[in-house]
Amino acid sequence: MSLLNLVLQSAEANDPLHKTISCFAINQIASATPPRPHAFSLWSPVAKPAAPDQQGPVCDYTSWPGLTDRSFSGRHLRPAAQSEIDALPSNASCDPAAGQLGPVTALFQRTQMQTGRSSVLFSYFAQWFTDSFLRTSSTDRRKNTSNHEIDLCQIYGLTEDTTRVLRSMQGGKLSSQIVEGEEYPDTLFEPVPGDGLRPKARYASLPYVASGQIDTILKQQRVPAERKARLYATGLERGNSSIGYAAMSTLFLREHNRLCEGLSAAHPDWDDERLFQTARLINIAMLLRIVIEDYINHIAGHKLFVFDNSYAERQNWYRTNWMAVEFDLLYRWHGLVPDTVDVGGKKYEPSEFQSNNALLEQLGVAALLDGASNEAAGKIGLFNTPHFLLWAECQSVKMGRDFRLQGFNAYRERFSLPRLTDWDQLTSDALVKDSLKSLYRDIDQLELVVGLLAEQARDGALFGSLMTTMVAVDAFTQALTNPLLSTHVYNADTLTDYGLAQIDATPSLQALAARNLKPGQQARISFDR
Question: Which residues lie near its own copies (CB under 8 A)?
Answer: 34-35, 37-39, 45, 61-65, 67-69, 147, 149, 151, 156, 160, 273-274, 277-278, 280-281, 284, 313-314, 316, 318, 320, 483-484, 486, 488-489, 493-494
Give yes or no for a contact between 305 and 12, defined as CB atoms under 8 angstroms apart.
no
Shortest distance in whole angstroms from residue 34 CB to its own copies: 5
CB-hemisphere CA count at 13 Å for 270?
22
Nearer CB in complex with its own copies: 5/28: 28
Shortest distance in whole angstroms from residue 460 CB to its own copies: 33
Nearer CB in complex with its own copies: 445/486: 486
Shortest distance in whole angstroms from residue 319 CB to its own copies: 8
Give yes or no for a contact between 183 and 260, defined as CB atoms under 8 angstroms apart.
no
Shortest distance in whole angstroms from residue 310 CB to its own copies: 12
142 vs 80, 154, 158, 325, 433, CA distance in Å?
Answer: 16, 22, 19, 8, 32
Shortest distance in whole angstroms from residue 195 CB to its own copies: 37
Nearest to 365 by CA among 229, 472, 519: 519
Shortest distance in whole angstroms from residue 270 CB to its own copies: 9
Residue 408 sits at φ, ψ, to 5 deg, of: -50, -45
Nearer CB in complex with its own copies: 226/497: 497
Q: What is the DSSP letter of 485?
A: G
Q: Rounded CA gap, 502 and 516, in Å?
A: 13
Nearer CB in complex with its own copies: 41/385: 41
Nearer CB in complex with its own copies: 118/278: 278
Shortest distance in whole angstroms from residue 499 CB to its own copies: 11
Q: Would strands 197-199 and 189-191 be described as parallel, antiparallel, or unpaired?
A: antiparallel
Give yes or no for a contact between 330 and 449, defined as CB atoms under 8 angstroms apart.
yes
Nearest to 367 by CA among 518, 165, 266: 518
Nearest to 43 by CA among 143, 145, 148, 147: 143
Nearer CB in complex with its own copies: 104/206: 206
Nearer CB in complex with its own copies: 484/525: 484
Helix H segments across 310-422?
A: 325-330, 350-353, 357-363, 365-374, 390-402, 408-414
Shortest distance in whole angstroms from residue 280 CB to its own copies: 5
Q: Rounded CA gap, 74 and 66, in Å?
A: 8
Residue 187 sits at φ, ψ, to 5 deg, of: -75, 150
Shortest distance in whole angstroms from residue 60 CB to its own copies: 8
Nearest to 8 by CA among 265, 17, 396: 17
Nearer CB in complex with its own copies: 161/442: 161
Nearer CB in complex with its own copies: 353/476: 476
16 vs 11, 86, 304, 312, 509, CA distance in Å?
Answer: 9, 54, 12, 20, 23
Nearer CB in complex with its own copies: 144/354: 144
Nearer CB in complex with its own copies: 51/64: 64
Helix H segments across 31-176?
A: 64-68, 82-86, 120-130, 153-156, 160-166
Which amino acid belongs to residue 435?
A: S
Phi-psi map region of 374: left, alpha, beta (phi>0 left; psi -120 to 50 alpha): alpha
Report the DSSP beta bridge partners of residue 407: 447
Shortest distance in whole angstroms from residue 373 CB to its own copies: 30
Shortest distance in whole angstroms from residue 283 CB to its own copies: 10
Q: Rounded CA gap, 125 and 278, in Å?
A: 24
For the chain, give the number of residues: 529
Shortest distance in whole angstroms from residue 147 CB to its own copies: 7
